[in-house]
Amino acid sequence: MQDRYDPRAIEADAQKFWAERRSFHVTEDKARRKFYCLSMFPYPSGKLHMGHVRNYTIGDVLTRHHRMRGMNVLQPMGWDAFGLPAENAAMANKVPPAKWTRDNIAYMKQQLKSLGFALDWDRELATCDASYYRWNQWLFTRLFRKGLAYKKTGVVNWDPADQTVLANEQVIDGRGWRTGALVEKREIPMYFFRITHYAEELLAALEGMDGWPEQVKLMQKNWIGRSEGVRIGFEYALENQKKILWVFTTRADTLMGATFCAVAAEHPIALHAAKSSPQLAAFVEECRRGGVQEADLAKIEKKGMPTGVFCTHPISGEKLPVWVGNYVLMGYGEGAVMGVPAHDERDFAFALKYGLKIVQVIDVKDFSGTQWREGYVEPGRCIHSGKYDGLDFQASIDAIAADLKARGLGEKQVQWRLRDWGISRQRYWGCPVPIIHCPSCGDVPVPDQDLPVVLPEDLVPDGTGNPLNKLASFVNTTCPSCGRPAKRETDTMDTFVDSSWYFARFACPGQDTAMVDERARYWMAVDQYIGGIEHAILHLLYSRFFQRAMADEGLMPKELREPFTNLLTQGMVLAESYYTDADGRREWVNPADVAVERDAKGKITSAKRIRDGAPVAYDGIGTMSKSKNNGVDPQSLIEKYGADTARFYTMFASPPTHTLEWSDESVEGSFRFLKRVWAYCVKFKAGSAAADAESLRKATRYEIHSVLRQLNYDIDKHQLNTVASGAMKILNALERLEGFPEAAREGLQILLKVLSPITPHICHALWRELGFGEDIMREAWPDPDPAALVQDEIDYVVQVSGKTRGNVRVPRDADQPAIERLAAEAVKKYIGGKPVRRVVIVPGKLINIVV
């Protein structure tokens, strides 16, 4: 046995051992409980970052733990390989996205292997492979025929200089990232998935999803956004024709306080009125400016302009002005709202700004009418509302809705915030939408026998749109239904389509005649899904939609409607950033190149660049990013300390769900711990067994089994940082022992077993070196021995009036009066002569004497 811990050698050995035995290859086995453990697959950006290491280590620890619990565990890996960064890299380096992507995959795969993850590589897939994306296309054609996929116009960011559609990410401060031109909104035809068909179900099912964090379910619930309200019609005349302006409101009780209506700039009333008013046309044009991001739209100054059109209040018959408002969204509800300044903050500000009438109709206190007050939106009894006066929130809504319904001017309605999912992207590096546009037959889905529509892989985009548009051999085709010349759709699919079902495909390696097969029935649903909290809404909601669409298509059992039974959302990995402002130019300095100085208490006082001693300024802590040059490369970490240290550190530093703040010194500490484990085992192997003193044996076993009990509790709730510290506590207990009695042997085996999911290589090596067995991975996970946890005496905390004043040791079988007597004796001086009002006893823990 080597005296020194040499991670490089033992990690290579262990990985070879697993590879030769195909240790992580799994197949369906009806006899054992299956466990499908999945981490979100990576985008092949070039090399792994710390977020990947953390994500995949969490997944690997859970995988290995469940294996040791006797389950049939599947942990696959693949590549989310389509997307924008490949096109950017292609433009920068004049390399086709396909080559760039596949080179990255090869490199990152080797990195993942060096980390020793228990992955079944036989199931590897990349979404850019035609063998994968053909099934995107196949399912699309199925949904298209069903009407679950359809075409309509959608709004996009338009760069007028490059004449191209921009991703939100490519819009910087309202301008195109390459041209600097002011971005506009533009409507173009797109394909949509009808996710709203499942809105009700996607919402209702959240209720039973106990394995998901409340926080994520709440975000999804709010995103789907079910609201009950009333659709209300305001009559108006346009060119002598009677028309109805429909609005949706959740506050029909305030209808009698409506003093205006506002429509979106794209609303027919606005467009019509703009024809005869140059000012209004200019305002509508102004609303077109800017991108489509909701965060920006919500922050712009609320502006409006009257259309000159008046509509009729459906109850009072009063004439109300119709305004165009830049805050009204065409995509939500009817693209129009009623304005009730007295009971809506936004309407209030709008009314004050433009001198519109404010009428209070709900009995809220302190209504001043000149300044917005908290509480104006609170529901209450109706006032100044004619026949509705005195009715409360629900009663007034019921009465108003009934009256409107009787006159054909409204009814109760359920409205969803959720919008259908636009999947068309005017980009090259993605899955082609399998549609052929025929002048006589219209949009024809590509027939099954012609799938896949293969993406040509040798194009290099130039930033002015999708190069597929210019590729005649791709575009020109014949109509599958009439045989005449036709054009192929050149839009590709949103990459979220690729990632909405990959987990099902992992179950079916080698299947080339179907999207999924019966093996998916064995493995699905994913028992444990792990990934970043940033995916809490979109990816996870789209996957839930896909699972339903696939089940309803007969691809999976109809009742299997949720893809992920348990979800763990990991926190981000953050790092400090530093910069110098030498000669007026800010230069970001990587934390690895910075030396900090501390005062006597260890507080940081200053920082310098190691290379030249130049003082650097601290910029705080944030996500690792290229722009701030604060990324920590996992590769250098693995090379310096080995995979086990990298794995241990990422588990120990922070609970999986919290952010992790990078610290080089703490990495050092993790390495030191593994060295101590190795050194202890070297001594253990050389030492001779000592006799167990009964008391020593009992105390040590109590200590180790107590830690084990807590550790098992922690690992079951995925609090892996305290699992790591539990392992440290066990080593501390072992090192306190004199010699190596039987209790040490038992404790050491427990230590190696509980540590092995986190640091599998070193545990594999030590298990074999010490002759404990051939393969620690095949050992059963340890449980605490109840006999070891029984104590003869119990320590109680004694409080006087809630303040801790002492401890008292009482025999296990002491009765309550005896405990009270011992406790009172222990804190006699704090009680003094004061009368005892009450004694609170928490069994096994604490006594509080209230005086």
Residues 564-583 that bind RNA (CB under 7 A): 572
Candidate segments 173-181, 215-223, 278-286, 681-689, binder of RNA by CB under 7 A? 215-223
Count of positions (residues) in the chain = 851
- Angle at 34 (CA atoms; ends 28, 38), nearest 5 degrees: 100
For residue 165, give Cα distances in angstroms to 176, 292, 295, 589.
10, 11, 19, 35
Closest alpha carbon to 111 in 57, 62, 74, 73: 57
154 contacts RNA (rule: CB under 7 A):
yes
Backbone angles phi, psi at 512, to 5 degrees: -120, 15
426 contacts RNA (rule: CB under 7 A):
yes
622 contacts RNA (rule: CB under 7 A):
yes
In the list 490, 495, 547, 566, the residue contacting RNA (rule: CB under 7 A) is: 495
From residue 68 to residue 107, what is the string marking binding to RNA with x (rule CB under 7 A)?
A: ------------x-xxxx----------------------
* Cβ atoms 707, 733 nearer than 8 A: yes
The minimum distance between CB 574 and RNA, in angstroms, equals: 8
Cα 624 to Cα 378: distance, rounded to the nearest angstrom: 43
Start-to-end CA span in the chain (Å):
63
In the list 94, 585, 601, 626, the residue contacting RNA (rule: CB under 7 A) is: 601
Task: Restricting to residues 718-747, name those near RNA by CB under 7 A.
Answer: 719, 721-722, 725, 728-729, 732, 735
The minimum distance between CB 99 and RNA, in angstroms, equals: 18
In the list 807, 818, 821, 834, the residue contacting RNA (rule: CB under 7 A) is: 807
606 contacts RNA (rule: CB under 7 A):
no
Candidate segments 136-144, 460-468, 544-552, 802-810, binder of RNA by CB under 7 A? 802-810
- Secondary structure letter of residue 120 according to DSSP: -
Cα 786 to Cα 726: distance, rounded to the nearest angstrom: 18
Based on CB atoms, which residue is closest to RNA, 236 or 648? 648
The minimum distance between CB 720 and RNA, in angstroms, equals: 9
Candidate segments 220-228, 382-390, 500-508, 627-635, binder of RNA by CB under 7 A? 220-228
In sequence order, the β-bridge partners of residue 569 are 531
- Angle at 801 (CA atoms; ends 798, 804), nearest 5 degrees: 35
Task: Restricting to residues 514-573, name those near RNA by CB under 7 A.
Answer: 532-539, 572
Based on CB atoms, which residue is closest to RNA, 35 or 652? 652
Residue showing tokens 């830049």: 326
Task: Restricting to residues 340-379, name those near RNA by CB under 7 A.
Answer: none
What token pair was written down for 127?
A: 């979404």
The minimum distance between CB 224 and RNA, in angstroms, equals: 8
State how beta strands 171-172 and 175-176 pair. Answer: antiparallel
Task: Restricting to residues 101-140, name those near RNA by CB under 7 A.
Answer: none
Exposure class string for 479-495: b at 16+ Cβ within 10 A, else e:
bbeeeeebebbbbbbbb
Residue 776: alpha-carbon gap to chain centroid? 34
To 10 degrees, what angle do helices 643-652 and 720-736 make?
A: 110
- Using DSSP, how many helices (H) and how many strands (E) does the chain show? 26, 33
Based on CB atoms, which residue is closest to RNA, 171 or 230? 171
161 contacts RNA (rule: CB under 7 A):
no
The minimum distance between CB 672 and RNA, in angstroms, equals: 4
The minimum distance between CB 652 and RNA, in angstroms, equals: 7
Secondary structure of residue 347 in the 3-state scheme: helix
Based on CB atoms, which residue is closest to RNA, 62 or 438? 62
842 contacts RNA (rule: CB under 7 A):
yes
In the list 91, 161, 167, 696, the residue contacting RNA (rule: CB under 7 A) is: 167
Based on CB atoms, which residue is closest to RNA, 592 or 846? 846
Cα 589 to Cα 764: distance, rounded to the nearest angstrom: 39
The minimum distance between CB 648 and RNA, in angstroms, equals: 10
Closest alpha carbon to 569 in 537, 529, 541: 529
The minimum distance between CB 537 and RNA, in angstroms, equals: 5
286 contacts RNA (rule: CB under 7 A):
no
Based on CB atoms, which residue is closest to RNA, 167 or 814? 167
* Cβ atoms 348, 342 nearer than 8 A: yes
The minimum distance between CB 702 and RNA, in angstroms, equals: 14
The minimum distance between CB 194 and RNA, in angstroms, equals: 12
The minimum distance between CB 641 and RNA, in angstroms, equals: 12
In the list 507, 714, 715, 718, the residue contacting RNA (rule: CB under 7 A) is: 714
- Secondary structure letter of residue 365 according to DSSP: T
Residue 622: alpha-carbon gap to chain centroid? 18
168 contacts RNA (rule: CB under 7 A):
yes
* Cβ atoms 580, 617 nearer than 8 A: yes
In the list 222, 476, 478, 816, the residue contacting RNA (rule: CB under 7 A) is: 222
Cα 793 to Cα 809: distance, rounded to the nearest angstrom: 6
Based on CB atoms, which residue is closest to RNA, 495 or 629? 495
In the list 6, 29, 122, 169, the residue contacting RNA (rule: CB under 7 A) is: 169
For residue 94, give Cα distances in angstroms to 98, 177, 461.
12, 19, 9
Instruction: Determine how many CB atoms are found less than 10 A away from the CB of residue 691.
Output: 10
Candidate segments 140-148, 163-171, 407-415, 757-765, binder of RNA by CB under 7 A? 163-171
63 contacts RNA (rule: CB under 7 A):
no
Based on CB atoms, which residue is closest to RNA, 352 or 395? 352
Based on CB atoms, which residue is closest to RNA, 83 or 563? 83
Cα 120 to Cα 104: distance, rounded to the nearest angstrom: 20
Q: Which string of DSSP letters, residue by residue, matches 55-114?
A: HHHHHHHHHHHHHHTT-EEE----B---SHHHHHHHHHHT--HHHHHHHHHHHHHHHHHH
600 contacts RNA (rule: CB under 7 A):
yes
Q: Which string of DSSP letters, residue by residue, matches 381-398?
A: -B-S-GGGTT--HHHHHH
Residue showing tokens 């001779």: 688
Task: Restricting to residues 174-213, name those near RNA by CB under 7 A.
Answer: 188, 190
In the list 18, 35, 36, 43, the residue contacting RNA (rule: CB under 7 A) is: 43
In sequence order, the β-bridge partners of residue 388 are none
Cis check: omega of the bond before 213, within 30 degrees of 0: no
From residue 295 to residue 324, what is the string marking binding to RNA with x (rule CB under 7 A)?
A: x--xx-------------------------
156 contacts RNA (rule: CB under 7 A):
yes
Based on CB atoms, which residue is closest to RNA, 790 or 840? 840
Cα 352 to Cα 629: distance, rounded to the nearest angstrom: 48
In the list 121, 150, 177, 223, the residue contacting RNA (rule: CB under 7 A) is: 223
Side chain identity at residue 759, one-letter code: T
The minimum distance between CB 127 and RNA, in angstroms, equals: 9
46 contacts RNA (rule: CB under 7 A):
no
Side chain identity at residue 777, one-letter code: M
The minimum distance between CB 89 and RNA, in angstroms, equals: 12
Q: Which string of DSSP letters, residue by residue, matches 722-766?
A: HHHHHHHHHHHHHHHSSS--HHHHHHHHHHHHHHTTTSHHHHHHH
Task: Restricting to residues 653-692, name those near RNA by CB under 7 A.
Answer: 653-655, 658-661, 663, 665-666, 668-670, 672-673, 675-676, 679
In the list 417, 683, 809, 834, the residue contacting RNA (rule: CB under 7 A) is: 417
Based on CB atoms, which residue is closest to RNA, 244 or 460? 460
Based on CB atoms, which residue is closest to RNA, 157 or 307? 157
Residues near RNA (CB under 7 A), total: 105
Backbone angles phi, psi at 229, to 5 degrees: -160, -160
